Amino acid sequence: MRGLFFPLLCGLIFVLLQTTILPRFLPAEMRPNLLLILVIYLGLSESFLRAAFLTLLLGALQDVFCGSTFGLYAAVQLAVFLLIRLFSDRLNVESRRLLLGLIAAGTILQTVLLGFLLTTFAEAGPVLWILLSALPAQILFNLLTGWLLLFFLLRFQPLLGNRQGMAGLPYQSKHHGA
């Protein structure tokens, strides 16, 4: 139960930040996608079933708070998670550079999937061009936010203590990763 509570609480805080506070202070092209960063982190550091459940739940929360088509973000977040998980067995999951690269790749994948699903199923018109034109700024701000979150996670991780589970980002030290 404890393993579900903290990521779910972070996800709820991130959804509230994305939908209430960040739109008030930042223009649309400067808002990071905090839930995408959390989904990538879960894909690298949690067990498969726990992370898949949390990803689906966080995607549904994003649909409830800011989605126009229910299930859209849940499906896209789950697809991003599954691809991250597919490659995580073949990659060094303790690398900080890998996390930032996966954030960039996840941002591109999420944008393409959202554009494809919206143009295919919702007849949203020129939404793909709108999403693609905002993609470079979105990648930049997701990377900056991911770097900041990783910096603070690694600083506060010794205070939280170690936990059982899959080795990954929470276990980083000065001697591992890049």
Q: Tokens for 42, please give them.
A: 């879960």
Percent of the chain at pLDDT > 90 equals 31
Selection from 78, 83, 85, 75 nearest residue 120 by Cα: 75
Whether the CB-CB separation of 141 and 31 falls below 8 Å is answered with yes
> Which of 28-32, 54-58, 72-76 is the least confident region?
28-32
CATH-assigned architecture of domain 2-168: Orthogonal Bundle (1.10)
The C-alpha angle with vertex 125 and arms to 102 and 19, in degrees rounded to 5, equals 50
pTM over 0.85: no
13-45 per-position pLDDT tens digit = 999 998 889 889 988 888 899 999 999 988 888
**pLDDT > 60? residue 151:** yes
Alpha-carbon distance of 72 to 121, in angstroms, equals 10
Selection from 35, 178, 3 nearest residue 99 by Cα: 178
How many residues are recorded in the chain?
Answer: 178
C-alpha dihedral (86, 154, 148, 2), degrees to nearest 10: 70
